[in-house]
Structure 1
Amino acid sequence: MISLKNETIECYEHSIEHYEHSIECYERSFVVRLPGKRNVFSTSWLNGGYREDLTAVFNHQVSLDVCEACQTTEDVKTYLESVAESLDLDPNTVCGLMTCAYMQNTAIAPISYRDLYVCAIVTAGIDENGGRAGDPASYYENNENYEPIGGTINTILIINADLPEYAMGKVLMTATEAKAVALQQLMARSIYSHGIATGSGTDMIAIITDPNSKLHISDAGKHSTLGELIGKSVISATTEALRLQTGLSPESQMDVLVRLSRFSVTEEDLWQIAKELMKKSAINTVSQEIFLKNLRNCVKNPFLVAVTSAILHIIDEVEWGLLPQNEAEKVASFIIMEGFGPDKASLEFGPDKASLIENGFGSVEASILQHLTKAISEFVLRGINC
């Protein structure tokens, strides 16, 4: 894994020397110049789709003002043309990707097997726009009018082999699956549902292959070596880019509150439960400041994160129809009892169940989440009063 953060242009060029491409880095853009004829498939508004006549591919950081100003496809295309010209590129022979991520947070992951080389170059951020396929839509496009949203995973994938057009489509599929794997392994949350994100709503990709290569490859699926290299490269680069841009990492996800945020549970919710507990039990009354301080001291405990994660996954499996509701609730209650050790008789209140159901949970999922959040609050109070 090679990070572009605090690196020089020379380092970028060295990192992809096997691909004969150079990367030029600017404050808000980087450019991959193509050495001779290359085939490119991209999702760019500018010269997107399958092309055989491009000379460069660029990735560009846009400002929020630009995002708000670009309300139509033509607006975006015109803006990308102006970016190309500012980079001394011919707008007719380049394609460009757009993102709100900083260019210095780019990650590069070259990988090879024998004479086959693959290199993923990724910028990533999903803290504001992470979504799961099938989530509620954010806008309806009408005659190419829409409202762009910030937060994007952009991937430029360089392959030193000759692939037919249909195989480049397979590259797109494998790379997209790999991106989803990276997010799944980080348990990255969707902003628009309670699910695990599979990407953002504005992700883009550009795939570059070499029609003059002696390597002729017809398959990029998961069974092929090329597919394996694509998967490993994209997973690695996406994971590193997310860490650089937003701090999303295994370390940041080792947190009870982060795991609960996927279900819209906050510190304030846990404090409100704690206040009810203090009213209805013999637990000594403590201030909100002391409660939250103790809560924050507990949330990184790996055992508590593991218990919380196990309960939340049971909720997932109920929603997916993989577990019957009654058995799921019984097992979840058992894990809560063993993990947090609350008094069985006190598992009767938590976040308002009706409110949870209104937020998209079924009655069983709401009941499990209600018990879990109550148990966490009680666990924190017991620690204060020990």
Structure 2
Amino acid sequence: MTSYTTDSKKDLKLIFETSGGEKVYRSENSVVVKLPPNRNSITTSYINGGHQENLEAIFNHEPNPTRGHCGHDLEGGSVEEYIKIQSKRLGLNPEKTAAMMTAAKMKNAAISTRTFRDLEVTAIVTAGIEVNGGRAGDPANWHEENGSTVYVGGTINTFLILSSYLPAHALTRVIMTATEAKTVAIQQLMAPSRYSNGIATGSGTDQISVISNMSSPNVLTWAGKHSKLGELVALCIIDATTEALDKQTCLNPLTQRDMLVRLNRFGINEDKYWETAALIEGENKKPVFIENLREFSKNPSVVAMTTSLLHIIDEINWGLIPEKSGKTAAYSVMKTLPEMIAVKNQPDFEHLIDEKMTIIENWIRISSWCIKNGF
């Protein structure tokens, strides 16, 4: 029998309050933003979504695991009914409540607030893209027909609470700026897509809710990058998304400073390395090689060289650099590896580099030789 979450009103604890009176509560499975009167919002919620002017609350929720990944597997048989059920459990009016759902833990929510004069912007983010991270334009893995939906784990869900009044068109523009900022946070961490060899731009199921204060005398009509509002929105989103990704999955600059982590988006792991290394001259003891590979992989100079090679590959794939020219540059970079890591002997590059192979395949050959012969 399926075990459903039992989040209730009594489980909610106040964790933050804006200067305008929006109160943020958290329980094990939900983060709830309770809205004062005269708030308008735009949200991607399945119920009461779009532009609204009468919502009393918006919540972010982690459902308990279900037997499947479709909306009909949730309690109530659909996403809409499930949200209504959870609204009631949290003491909220389903007719005046919107919601977002995620597989991220609510304890890992991050909050960032910035102010400028009488403008205050607050972002609240839960984030996880280790399973569902994707790049816009990646091959799709499902298609919606007749309202049938698929629930996928790993999502970046965002609240934005603004102290000023924004009409509907400006709220919509906030979403554009926030989405760009979310992508900045992800790309600064070089988080990989799980559906291609590109860098992720988000997850396939990200959601957002933007709230403004219709009672404020400060009316803002634009939220693009050139406006102060746009700047604050972006900075809050970058801060909160970066913190949430670290809290949820330890995705941070230190964990990304690893050659194998960077190569993972191209399907390269320790076993793939050993398949090549076993054919390279030197001692063939896998446990010793793997231990040395892990040490080699965390060398910051090695990571820097690897990222330069991967960026050449990206630019070839984007059509910015001809493949032949990219390979020539990449092989020139690779040949400096032995000297950079102080390997005493020089490899026979004419034997190691095979023009018919890819840049990554040749990198594995040269780096494996260095690991086996003096690193």
Give percent identity, aligned residues only: 43
C-alpha contact 1:67 1:150 (8 A) present in aligned 2? no
Q: Secondary structure at the match of 1:146?
A: coil
Pair 328,322 (structure 1): closer, same or farther in 2 beyond 3 Å: same
Deviations 1:28-73 (A, max 9, x none): 1111100112001000112111100100010111123176352499
C-alpha contact 1:19 1:158 (8 A) present in aligned 2? no
Residue in 2 that maps onto 1:47: 48
C-alpha contact 2:71 2:148 (8 A) present in aligned 1? no
Q: How many Å apart are 1:21 and its aligned residue?
A: 1.1
Deviations 1:124-163 (A, max 9, x none): 0000000000000010111112332111000000001111
Cα distance in 2 between the residues matched to 1:95 and 1:340 = 58
Q: Secondary structure at the match of 2:238?
A: helix
Q: How many Å apart are 1:270 and its aligned residue?
A: 0.7
Q: Which moved more, 1:249-258 or 1:69-78?
A: 69-78
Cα distance in 2 between the residues matched to 1:171 and 1:188 = 24
- For 2:271, the aligned partner's letter is E
Question: RMSD over aligned Cα, in angstroms?
Answer: 1.8
Q: How many Å apart are 1:286 and its aligned residue?
A: 3.0
2:349 to 338, 344, 351: 344
Structure 1 length as normaliser, TM-score? 0.88
Deviations 1:173-205 (A, max 9, x none): 000000000001000000000101000000000
Q: Which moved more, 1:293-302 or 1:171-180?
A: 293-302
Cα distance in 2 between the residues matched to 1:372 and 1:19 = 56
Counterpart check, 1:86 vs 2:80: no
Residue in 2 that maps onto 1:369: 360
Q: How many Å apart are 1:345 and its aligned residue?
A: 2.0
| Paired positions, count | 355
Residue in 1 that maps onto 2:69: 68
Counterpart check, 1:120 vs 2:123: yes
Pair 77,226 (structure 1): closer, same or farther in 2 beyond 3 Å: same
Residue in 2 that maps onto 1:361: none
Deviations 1:78-109 (A, max 9, x none): 11111101101011100011011111000000
Q: How many Å apart are 1:383 and its aligned residue?
A: 3.1
Q: Secondary structure at the match of 1:18?
A: coil
Q: How many Å apart are 1:262 and its aligned residue?
A: 1.0
Residue in 2 that maps onto 1:358: none
- Write the mapping of 1:183-198 to structure 2, written as runs, cut at 5 A: 183-198=186-201
Residue in 1 that maps onto 2:6: none
Residue in 2 that maps onto 1:22: 23
Which contiguous aligned blocks of 4+ residues in structure 1 show a shift greater than 6 angstroms? none
Residue in 1 that maps onto 2:324: 326
Pair 52,158 (structure 1): closer, same or farther in 2 beyond 3 Å: same
Deviations 1:310-338 (A, max 9, x none): 00000000111111222111110000111
- For 1:345, the aligned partner's letter is E
Residue in 1 that maps onto 2:138: 135
Unpaired runs of 5+ residues, structure 1, are 1-7, 354-365
Q: Secondary structure at the match of 2:19?
A: helix
Q: Secondary structure at the match of 2:373?
A: helix
Residue in 2 that maps onto 1:359: none
Q: Secondary structure at the match of 2:38?
A: coil
- For 2:372, the aligned partner's letter is L
Pair 132,109 (structure 1): closer, same or farther in 2 beyond 3 Å: same
Structure 2 length as normaliser, TM-score? 0.91
